[in-house]
Structure 1
Protein backbone atom coordinates (compact mmCIF):
# COMPACT_ATOMS: atom_id res chain seq x y z
CA UNK A 1 0.00 0.00 0.00
CA UNK A 2 1.26 3.44 -0.92
CA UNK A 3 1.02 5.85 2.00
CA UNK A 4 -0.75 9.02 0.92
CA UNK A 5 1.04 12.37 0.91
CA UNK A 6 -0.21 15.93 1.35
CA UNK A 7 2.58 18.30 0.33
CA UNK A 8 2.40 22.07 0.62
CA UNK A 9 4.46 24.35 -1.63
CA UNK A 10 4.67 27.82 -0.10
CA UNK A 11 6.49 29.16 -3.19
CA UNK A 12 7.85 32.71 -2.62
CA UNK A 13 5.64 33.39 0.38
CA UNK A 14 6.25 33.45 4.08
CA UNK A 15 8.09 35.18 6.91
CA UNK A 16 9.07 33.81 10.31
CA UNK A 17 5.72 34.79 11.80
CA UNK A 18 4.00 32.49 9.30
CA UNK A 19 5.68 29.45 10.85
CA UNK A 20 2.90 29.61 13.43
CA UNK A 21 0.78 27.95 10.72
CA UNK A 22 2.79 24.78 11.34
CA UNK A 23 1.65 24.75 14.96
CA UNK A 24 -1.95 25.32 13.89
CA UNK A 25 -1.75 22.57 11.29
CA UNK A 26 -0.35 20.03 13.73
CA UNK A 27 -2.90 21.01 16.38
CA UNK A 28 -5.56 20.07 13.84
CA UNK A 29 -3.77 16.84 12.86
CA UNK A 30 -1.72 15.67 15.86
CA UNK A 31 -1.71 12.07 14.64
CA UNK A 32 -2.11 12.24 10.86
CA UNK A 33 -2.92 9.06 8.98
CA UNK A 34 -1.22 10.45 5.86
CA UNK A 35 2.27 11.85 5.35
CA UNK A 36 2.50 15.64 5.66
CA UNK A 37 5.15 17.84 4.05
CA UNK A 38 5.62 21.60 3.95
CA UNK A 39 8.09 23.19 1.52
CA UNK A 40 8.74 26.77 2.66
CA UNK A 41 11.13 29.23 0.99
CA UNK A 42 14.81 28.59 1.69
CA UNK A 43 14.97 31.47 4.19
CA UNK A 44 12.59 29.57 6.47
CA UNK A 45 13.85 26.04 5.91
CA UNK A 46 15.93 25.51 9.03
CA UNK A 47 13.51 27.40 11.26
CA UNK A 48 10.65 25.30 9.90
CA UNK A 49 12.60 22.12 10.62
CA UNK A 50 13.08 23.22 14.22
CA UNK A 51 9.41 24.21 14.50
CA UNK A 52 8.25 20.83 13.21
CA UNK A 53 10.75 18.77 15.22
CA UNK A 54 8.16 17.60 17.73
CA UNK A 55 5.50 16.89 15.12
CA UNK A 56 4.94 14.15 12.51
CA UNK A 57 5.51 16.74 9.79
CA UNK A 58 8.35 16.74 7.27
CA UNK A 59 9.96 19.85 5.80
CA UNK A 60 11.14 20.06 2.20
CA UNK A 61 12.68 22.54 -0.19
CA UNK A 62 11.56 24.02 -3.49
CA UNK A 63 14.66 23.52 -5.67
CA UNK A 64 18.32 22.54 -5.59
CA UNK A 65 21.42 22.75 -7.75
CA UNK A 66 22.70 19.66 -9.54
CA UNK A 67 26.24 20.09 -8.17
CA UNK A 68 27.05 19.23 -4.54
CA UNK A 69 29.09 22.43 -4.14
CA UNK A 70 30.97 25.00 -6.19
CA UNK A 71 31.01 28.52 -7.57
CA UNK A 72 27.25 28.89 -8.04
CA UNK A 73 26.33 32.15 -6.36
CA UNK A 74 22.79 32.18 -5.04
CA UNK A 75 22.21 28.46 -5.50
CA UNK A 76 21.71 25.81 -2.83
CA UNK A 77 22.92 22.22 -3.17
CA UNK A 78 21.06 19.07 -2.20
CA UNK A 79 23.59 18.21 0.55
CA UNK A 80 23.05 21.70 2.01
CA UNK A 81 19.30 21.11 2.08
CA UNK A 82 19.78 17.77 3.78
CA UNK A 83 22.12 19.37 6.31
CA UNK A 84 19.44 21.97 7.08
CA UNK A 85 17.01 19.17 7.86
CA UNK A 86 15.01 18.88 4.64
CA UNK A 87 13.69 15.46 3.69
CA UNK A 88 12.48 16.25 0.17
CA UNK A 89 12.77 18.79 -2.61
CA UNK A 90 10.37 19.87 -5.35
CA UNK A 91 12.00 19.75 -8.80
CA UNK A 92 10.85 20.66 -12.29
CA UNK A 93 7.86 22.71 -11.17
CA UNK A 94 6.28 24.40 -14.18
CA UNK A 95 7.16 27.81 -12.77
CA UNK A 96 10.83 26.79 -12.71
CA UNK A 97 10.62 25.27 -16.20
CA UNK A 98 9.01 28.45 -17.56
CA UNK A 99 10.67 31.23 -15.55
CA UNK A 100 14.16 29.70 -15.48
CA UNK A 101 14.07 27.75 -18.75
CA UNK A 102 14.73 24.47 -16.95
CA UNK A 103 14.82 21.49 -19.26
CA UNK A 104 13.83 17.97 -18.32
CA UNK A 105 17.51 17.02 -18.56
CA UNK A 106 18.37 19.70 -15.98
CA UNK A 107 15.58 18.44 -13.75
CA UNK A 108 16.95 14.91 -14.03
CA UNK A 109 20.42 16.08 -12.96
CA UNK A 110 18.92 17.84 -9.95
CA UNK A 111 16.85 14.78 -9.06
CA UNK A 112 19.95 12.59 -9.19
CA UNK A 113 21.72 15.01 -6.86
CA UNK A 114 18.76 15.06 -4.48
CA UNK A 115 18.55 11.29 -4.33
CA UNK A 116 22.30 11.01 -3.75
CA UNK A 117 21.92 13.39 -0.79
CA UNK A 118 19.19 11.26 0.73
CA UNK A 119 16.31 13.53 -0.27
CA UNK A 120 13.06 12.50 -1.89
CA UNK A 121 12.79 14.12 -5.32
CA UNK A 122 9.26 15.36 -6.02
CA UNK A 123 9.41 15.62 -9.80
CA UNK A 124 6.75 17.76 -11.46
CA UNK A 125 5.26 17.16 -14.90
CA UNK A 126 2.54 18.96 -16.79
CA UNK A 127 1.27 20.25 -20.09
CA UNK A 128 0.28 23.81 -20.96
CA UNK A 129 -3.13 24.84 -22.28
CA UNK A 130 -2.04 24.83 -25.91
CA UNK A 131 -0.73 21.28 -25.57
CA UNK A 132 -3.91 20.16 -23.80
CA UNK A 133 -6.11 21.65 -26.52
CA UNK A 134 -3.94 20.02 -29.20
CA UNK A 135 -4.53 16.65 -27.49
CA UNK A 136 -0.78 16.32 -26.94
CA UNK A 137 -0.97 15.88 -23.17
CA UNK A 138 0.20 12.27 -23.01
CA UNK A 139 3.04 12.94 -25.47
CA UNK A 140 4.26 15.81 -23.30
CA UNK A 141 3.97 13.78 -20.12
CA UNK A 142 5.81 10.84 -21.70
CA UNK A 143 8.71 13.06 -22.75
CA UNK A 144 8.96 14.86 -19.42
CA UNK A 145 8.68 11.64 -17.43
CA UNK A 146 11.31 9.84 -19.47
CA UNK A 147 13.80 12.70 -19.41
CA UNK A 148 13.21 14.04 -15.88
CA UNK A 149 13.30 10.88 -13.77
CA UNK A 150 16.75 9.35 -13.13
CA UNK A 151 17.40 5.66 -13.61
CA UNK A 152 17.90 5.49 -9.84
CA UNK A 153 14.24 6.35 -9.20
CA UNK A 154 12.30 4.13 -6.81
CA UNK A 155 9.50 4.30 -4.26
CA UNK A 156 11.83 5.54 -1.51
CA UNK A 157 13.41 8.46 -3.34
CA UNK A 158 10.91 9.57 -5.98
CA UNK A 159 7.45 11.11 -6.03
CA UNK A 160 5.80 12.24 -9.27
CA UNK A 161 3.49 15.27 -9.26
CA UNK A 162 1.20 15.86 -12.23
CA UNK A 163 0.47 19.57 -12.41
CA UNK A 164 -1.21 20.77 -15.61
CA UNK A 165 0.25 24.23 -16.14
CA UNK A 166 -3.12 25.69 -17.09
CA UNK A 167 -4.52 24.76 -13.67
CA UNK A 168 -1.77 26.23 -11.48
CA UNK A 169 -2.89 29.40 -9.73
CA UNK A 170 -5.74 29.91 -12.21
CA UNK A 171 -8.60 28.48 -10.22
CA UNK A 172 -9.09 25.88 -12.94
CA UNK A 173 -8.83 22.22 -11.99
CA UNK A 174 -8.51 19.25 -14.29
CA UNK A 175 -11.63 17.09 -14.41
CA UNK A 176 -11.43 13.74 -12.61
CA UNK A 177 -11.36 11.83 -15.91
CA UNK A 178 -8.47 14.01 -17.14
CA UNK A 179 -6.52 13.43 -13.93
CA UNK A 180 -7.24 9.72 -14.04
CA UNK A 181 -6.10 9.38 -17.64
CA UNK A 182 -2.75 11.03 -16.92
CA UNK A 183 -2.11 9.25 -13.62
CA UNK A 184 -2.93 5.86 -15.14
CA UNK A 185 -0.60 6.69 -18.02
CA UNK A 186 2.23 7.70 -15.69
CA UNK A 187 1.86 4.49 -13.70
CA UNK A 188 2.00 2.42 -16.89
CA UNK A 189 5.05 4.31 -18.14
CA UNK A 190 6.84 3.77 -14.83
CA UNK A 191 6.01 0.06 -14.95
CA UNK A 192 7.39 -0.26 -18.48
CA UNK A 193 10.64 1.41 -17.42
CA UNK A 194 11.23 0.25 -13.85
CA UNK A 195 9.05 -2.84 -13.54
CA UNK A 196 5.65 -3.24 -11.90
CA UNK A 197 7.04 -3.61 -8.39
CA UNK A 198 8.83 -0.25 -8.33
CA UNK A 199 6.09 1.49 -10.29
CA UNK A 200 3.40 0.40 -7.85
CA UNK A 201 5.33 1.92 -4.96
CA UNK A 202 5.97 5.37 -6.44
CA UNK A 203 3.44 7.91 -5.22
CA UNK A 204 1.63 10.08 -7.78
CA UNK A 205 0.35 13.46 -6.64
CA UNK A 206 -2.01 15.86 -8.36
CA UNK A 207 -1.42 19.61 -8.22
CA UNK A 208 -3.26 22.54 -9.73
CA UNK A 209 -5.75 24.68 -7.79
CA UNK A 210 -6.44 21.98 -5.19
CA UNK A 211 -8.87 23.46 -2.66
CA UNK A 212 -11.05 22.18 0.18
CA UNK A 213 -14.05 22.31 -2.15
CA UNK A 214 -12.60 19.96 -4.78
CA UNK A 215 -10.17 17.83 -2.79
CA UNK A 216 -12.49 14.89 -2.09
CA UNK A 217 -13.35 14.50 -5.77
CA UNK A 218 -9.68 14.55 -6.76
CA UNK A 219 -8.67 12.01 -4.13
CA UNK A 220 -11.42 9.63 -5.23
CA UNK A 221 -9.63 9.18 -8.58
CA UNK A 222 -7.64 5.92 -8.77
CA UNK A 223 -3.84 6.31 -8.79
CA UNK A 224 -4.02 9.69 -7.05
CA UNK A 225 -1.93 9.24 -3.91
CA UNK A 226 -2.14 12.79 -2.64
CA UNK A 227 -1.63 16.38 -3.68
CA UNK A 228 1.00 19.05 -4.16
CA UNK A 229 -0.85 22.11 -2.91
CA UNK A 230 0.16 25.71 -3.55
CA UNK A 231 -1.82 28.67 -2.22
CA UNK A 232 -4.15 26.59 -0.08
CA UNK A 233 -1.19 25.28 1.93
CA UNK A 234 -0.20 28.71 3.24
CA UNK A 235 -2.82 28.71 5.97
CA UNK A 236 -3.69 25.79 8.20
CA UNK A 237 -7.38 26.67 7.95
CA UNK A 238 -7.24 26.02 4.19
CA UNK A 239 -4.79 23.11 4.15
CA UNK A 240 -6.38 21.19 7.02
CA UNK A 241 -9.62 20.25 5.19
CA UNK A 242 -7.56 19.03 2.23
CA UNK A 243 -5.60 16.77 4.58
CA UNK A 244 -8.87 15.53 6.08
CA UNK A 245 -10.24 14.79 2.60
CA UNK A 246 -7.10 12.81 1.78
CA UNK A 247 -7.33 10.89 5.06
CA UNK A 248 -10.94 10.03 4.31
CA UNK A 249 -10.43 9.08 0.67
CA UNK A 250 -11.40 5.53 -0.33
Structure 2
Protein backbone atom coordinates (compact mmCIF):
# COMPACT_ATOMS: atom_id res chain seq x y z
CA UNK A 1 0.00 0.00 0.00
CA UNK A 2 1.50 3.33 -1.09
CA UNK A 3 1.36 6.09 1.51
CA UNK A 4 -0.42 9.26 0.45
CA UNK A 5 2.10 12.11 0.58
CA UNK A 6 1.37 15.84 0.65
CA UNK A 7 4.35 18.20 0.35
CA UNK A 8 4.22 21.99 0.41
CA UNK A 9 6.64 24.01 -1.74
CA UNK A 10 6.99 27.59 -0.54
CA UNK A 11 9.27 28.49 -3.47
CA UNK A 12 11.06 31.82 -2.80
CA UNK A 13 8.70 33.00 -0.08
CA UNK A 14 8.78 33.36 3.70
CA UNK A 15 10.33 35.33 6.53
CA UNK A 16 11.33 34.45 10.07
CA UNK A 17 8.09 35.80 11.51
CA UNK A 18 5.83 34.41 8.77
CA UNK A 19 7.47 31.00 9.02
CA UNK A 20 6.95 30.83 12.77
CA UNK A 21 3.28 31.75 12.48
CA UNK A 22 2.75 29.21 9.69
CA UNK A 23 4.45 26.41 11.60
CA UNK A 24 2.45 27.17 14.72
CA UNK A 25 -0.85 27.14 12.83
CA UNK A 26 -0.08 23.94 10.92
CA UNK A 27 1.33 22.23 14.00
CA UNK A 28 -1.79 23.02 16.01
CA UNK A 29 -4.00 21.94 13.13
CA UNK A 30 -2.25 18.60 12.81
CA UNK A 31 -2.64 17.93 16.53
CA UNK A 32 -6.39 17.95 15.96
CA UNK A 33 -6.03 14.75 13.97
CA UNK A 34 -4.89 13.81 10.50
CA UNK A 35 -5.82 10.76 8.42
CA UNK A 36 -3.64 7.75 9.21
CA UNK A 37 -1.14 6.31 6.75
CA UNK A 38 -0.11 9.64 5.24
CA UNK A 39 3.09 11.67 5.10
CA UNK A 40 3.18 15.45 5.25
CA UNK A 41 6.08 17.76 4.56
CA UNK A 42 7.09 21.26 3.54
CA UNK A 43 10.00 22.37 1.35
CA UNK A 44 11.35 25.75 2.46
CA UNK A 45 14.09 28.07 1.11
CA UNK A 46 17.63 27.14 2.18
CA UNK A 47 18.11 30.07 4.62
CA UNK A 48 15.10 28.93 6.66
CA UNK A 49 16.02 25.25 7.03
CA UNK A 50 17.59 25.70 10.47
CA UNK A 51 14.69 27.72 11.84
CA UNK A 52 12.08 25.36 10.43
CA UNK A 53 13.98 22.29 11.61
CA UNK A 54 13.73 23.61 15.16
CA UNK A 55 10.08 24.57 14.79
CA UNK A 56 9.23 21.09 13.46
CA UNK A 57 11.06 19.21 16.22
CA UNK A 58 7.85 17.87 17.79
CA UNK A 59 5.68 17.90 14.67
CA UNK A 60 4.61 15.13 12.32
CA UNK A 61 5.39 17.52 9.46
CA UNK A 62 8.66 16.57 7.72
CA UNK A 63 11.22 19.09 6.49
CA UNK A 64 12.13 19.42 2.84
CA UNK A 65 14.49 21.45 0.65
CA UNK A 66 13.74 22.88 -2.78
CA UNK A 67 16.90 21.62 -4.47
CA UNK A 68 20.12 19.69 -3.78
CA UNK A 69 23.52 19.62 -5.42
CA UNK A 70 24.73 16.64 -7.40
CA UNK A 71 28.12 17.16 -5.72
CA UNK A 72 29.22 16.07 -2.25
CA UNK A 73 31.52 19.03 -1.57
CA UNK A 74 34.10 21.23 -3.25
CA UNK A 75 34.38 24.38 -5.36
CA UNK A 76 30.72 24.76 -6.24
CA UNK A 77 29.82 28.26 -5.12
CA UNK A 78 26.16 28.63 -4.22
CA UNK A 79 25.47 24.89 -4.14
CA UNK A 80 24.09 22.99 -1.12
CA UNK A 81 25.01 19.33 -0.75
CA UNK A 82 22.89 16.44 0.45
CA UNK A 83 25.16 15.87 3.45
CA UNK A 84 24.52 19.47 4.55
CA UNK A 85 20.77 18.99 4.14
CA UNK A 86 20.90 15.72 6.08
CA UNK A 87 22.58 17.53 8.98
CA UNK A 88 19.66 19.98 9.01
CA UNK A 89 17.14 17.16 9.34
CA UNK A 90 15.88 17.39 5.75
CA UNK A 91 13.80 14.39 4.64
CA UNK A 92 12.70 15.47 1.15
CA UNK A 93 14.37 17.43 -1.66
CA UNK A 94 12.72 18.64 -4.85
CA UNK A 95 14.78 18.03 -7.98
CA UNK A 96 14.02 18.99 -11.55
CA UNK A 97 11.20 21.42 -10.87
CA UNK A 98 10.10 22.96 -14.16
CA UNK A 99 11.16 26.40 -12.94
CA UNK A 100 14.72 25.13 -12.58
CA UNK A 101 14.58 23.23 -15.86
CA UNK A 102 13.38 26.31 -17.75
CA UNK A 103 15.11 29.17 -15.92
CA UNK A 104 18.42 27.47 -15.09
CA UNK A 105 18.72 24.95 -17.91
CA UNK A 106 18.77 21.83 -15.74
CA UNK A 107 18.94 18.69 -17.87
CA UNK A 108 17.43 15.27 -17.18
CA UNK A 109 20.88 13.78 -16.57
CA UNK A 110 21.75 16.40 -13.94
CA UNK A 111 18.42 15.88 -12.23
CA UNK A 112 19.05 12.14 -11.97
CA UNK A 113 22.48 12.79 -10.42
CA UNK A 114 20.88 15.13 -7.87
CA UNK A 115 18.32 12.47 -7.00
CA UNK A 116 21.11 9.94 -6.51
CA UNK A 117 23.01 12.31 -4.23
CA UNK A 118 19.89 12.78 -2.11
CA UNK A 119 19.33 9.03 -1.84
CA UNK A 120 22.94 8.56 -0.72
CA UNK A 121 22.09 10.60 2.38
CA UNK A 122 18.65 9.16 3.21
CA UNK A 123 16.76 12.07 1.65
CA UNK A 124 13.77 11.26 -0.56
CA UNK A 125 14.07 13.07 -3.88
CA UNK A 126 10.88 14.45 -5.38
CA UNK A 127 11.59 14.18 -9.10
CA UNK A 128 9.44 16.59 -11.10
CA UNK A 129 8.29 15.79 -14.63
CA UNK A 130 5.74 17.48 -16.85
CA UNK A 131 4.85 18.82 -20.27
CA UNK A 132 4.46 22.32 -21.66
CA UNK A 133 1.22 23.70 -23.07
CA UNK A 134 2.56 23.23 -26.60
CA UNK A 135 3.40 19.59 -25.93
CA UNK A 136 -0.05 19.00 -24.44
CA UNK A 137 -1.89 20.76 -27.27
CA UNK A 138 0.07 18.95 -29.97
CA UNK A 139 -0.57 15.52 -28.48
CA UNK A 140 3.03 15.01 -27.33
CA UNK A 141 2.43 15.20 -23.56
CA UNK A 142 3.00 11.52 -22.80
CA UNK A 143 6.01 11.40 -25.12
CA UNK A 144 7.59 14.39 -23.31
CA UNK A 145 7.01 12.95 -19.86
CA UNK A 146 8.19 9.47 -20.86
CA UNK A 147 11.47 11.01 -22.03
CA UNK A 148 11.99 12.68 -18.65
CA UNK A 149 11.12 9.51 -16.73
CA UNK A 150 13.35 7.34 -18.93
CA UNK A 151 16.40 9.40 -17.99
CA UNK A 152 15.72 8.80 -14.30
CA UNK A 153 15.27 5.06 -14.85
CA UNK A 154 18.51 4.90 -16.84
CA UNK A 155 20.56 6.45 -14.03
CA UNK A 156 18.78 5.42 -10.84
CA UNK A 157 17.61 1.93 -11.82
CA UNK A 158 15.90 0.13 -8.91
CA UNK A 159 16.77 3.00 -6.51
CA UNK A 160 13.87 4.81 -8.13
CA UNK A 161 11.49 2.97 -5.80
CA UNK A 162 12.80 5.12 -2.93
CA UNK A 163 11.99 8.35 -4.78
CA UNK A 164 8.79 10.25 -5.37
CA UNK A 165 7.81 11.33 -8.86
CA UNK A 166 5.82 14.55 -9.06
CA UNK A 167 3.82 15.00 -12.26
CA UNK A 168 3.43 18.74 -12.74
CA UNK A 169 1.98 19.89 -16.06
CA UNK A 170 3.98 23.05 -16.65
CA UNK A 171 0.95 24.89 -17.99
CA UNK A 172 -0.81 24.42 -14.63
CA UNK A 173 1.97 25.62 -12.30
CA UNK A 174 1.06 28.93 -10.70
CA UNK A 175 -1.54 29.67 -13.37
CA UNK A 176 -4.68 28.71 -11.52
CA UNK A 177 -5.33 26.13 -14.23
CA UNK A 178 -5.43 22.53 -13.17
CA UNK A 179 -5.54 19.26 -15.04
CA UNK A 180 -8.85 17.51 -14.54
CA UNK A 181 -8.63 14.62 -12.11
CA UNK A 182 -9.04 12.18 -15.00
CA UNK A 183 -6.37 13.94 -17.08
CA UNK A 184 -3.96 13.77 -14.16
CA UNK A 185 -4.86 10.13 -13.54
CA UNK A 186 -4.22 9.25 -17.18
CA UNK A 187 -0.68 10.68 -17.01
CA UNK A 188 0.04 9.06 -13.65
CA UNK A 189 -1.13 5.76 -15.11
CA UNK A 190 1.10 6.25 -18.16
CA UNK A 191 4.09 6.87 -15.88
CA UNK A 192 3.32 3.77 -13.81
CA UNK A 193 2.97 1.62 -16.93
CA UNK A 194 6.28 2.97 -18.23
CA UNK A 195 7.97 2.02 -14.95
CA UNK A 196 6.39 -1.45 -15.15
CA UNK A 197 8.27 -1.97 -18.41
CA UNK A 198 11.43 -1.62 -16.33
CA UNK A 199 10.42 -3.26 -13.03
CA UNK A 200 6.96 -4.24 -11.79
CA UNK A 201 8.01 -3.87 -8.15
CA UNK A 202 9.18 -0.30 -8.70
CA UNK A 203 5.97 0.49 -10.58
CA UNK A 204 3.76 -0.91 -7.84
CA UNK A 205 5.48 0.78 -4.92
CA UNK A 206 6.75 4.18 -6.07
CA UNK A 207 4.69 7.19 -5.05
CA UNK A 208 3.56 9.41 -7.93
CA UNK A 209 2.13 12.72 -6.71
CA UNK A 210 0.40 15.53 -8.59
CA UNK A 211 1.41 19.18 -8.66
CA UNK A 212 -0.10 22.08 -10.54
CA UNK A 213 -2.56 24.40 -8.76
CA UNK A 214 -3.58 21.84 -6.13
CA UNK A 215 -6.16 23.46 -3.85
CA UNK A 216 -8.49 22.39 -1.07
CA UNK A 217 -11.42 22.42 -3.50
CA UNK A 218 -9.85 19.96 -5.97
CA UNK A 219 -7.59 17.85 -3.73
CA UNK A 220 -10.22 15.30 -2.71
CA UNK A 221 -11.07 14.41 -6.30
CA UNK A 222 -7.41 14.29 -7.34
CA UNK A 223 -6.30 12.15 -4.39
CA UNK A 224 -9.15 9.68 -4.95
CA UNK A 225 -7.66 8.60 -8.26
CA UNK A 226 -6.00 5.15 -8.10
CA UNK A 227 -2.58 6.22 -9.40
CA UNK A 228 -2.36 9.63 -7.69
CA UNK A 229 -0.51 9.22 -4.39
CA UNK A 230 -0.73 12.77 -3.06
CA UNK A 231 0.29 16.25 -4.06
CA UNK A 232 3.15 18.72 -4.37
CA UNK A 233 1.44 21.95 -3.36
CA UNK A 234 2.84 25.31 -4.47
CA UNK A 235 1.01 28.59 -3.90
CA UNK A 236 -1.71 27.04 -1.73
CA UNK A 237 0.90 25.83 0.75
CA UNK A 238 1.65 29.44 1.75
CA UNK A 239 -1.73 29.65 3.47
CA UNK A 240 -1.59 27.48 6.60
CA UNK A 241 -5.33 26.77 6.70
CA UNK A 242 -5.50 25.97 2.99
CA UNK A 243 -2.54 23.60 3.34
CA UNK A 244 -4.18 21.87 6.31
CA UNK A 245 -7.39 21.46 4.32
CA UNK A 246 -5.43 19.84 1.49
CA UNK A 247 -3.72 17.49 3.97
CA UNK A 248 -7.14 16.46 5.29
CA UNK A 249 -8.58 15.94 1.80
CA RMSD of aligned residues (A): 1.1
Aligned to 2:116: 112
Contact 2:152/2:160, CA 8 A, preserved across alignment: no
1:229 counterpart = 2:233:
yes
Distance 1:41 1:192 in 2: 36
Offset of 1:6 from its aligned partner?
0.6
| Structure 1 residues not aligned, in runs of 5+ | 246-250
More helix by share: 2
Report the Cα offset of residue 152 of structure 1: 4.4
SS at 1:7 equivalent? strand
Cα gap change, 1:197/1:180 in structure 2, threshold over 3 Å: closer, same or farther?
Answer: same
Secondary structure of the structure 1 residue equivalent to 2:157: coil
DSSP 3-state at the match of 1:118: coil
5+ unaligned residues in a row in structure 2: which ranges? none
Q: TM-score, normalised by structure 2?
A: 0.95
CA contact (8 A) 2:10 2:42 kept: yes
Whether contact under 8 Å (1:154, 1:199) holds in the other structure is: no
Pairwise CA distance, 1:214 = 1.2
Give the match for residue 162 of structure 1: 167
Aligned mate of 1:143, from 142, 147, 157: 147
Q: Deviations over 1:101-124 (max 9, x none)?
A: 001011011111111111101000
Q: Map residues 181-196 of structure 1 onto 2, 5 A cutoff.
A: 181-193=186-198, 195-196=199-200
Determine the C-alpha separation between the residues in 2 that align with 1:211 and 1:44: 24
Question: What is the TM-score with the length of structure 1 in the denominator?
Answer: 0.94
Which residue, 119, 125, 131 being the options, matches 1:127? 131
Flag as ranges the 4+ runs of structure 1 deviating above 3 A.
none
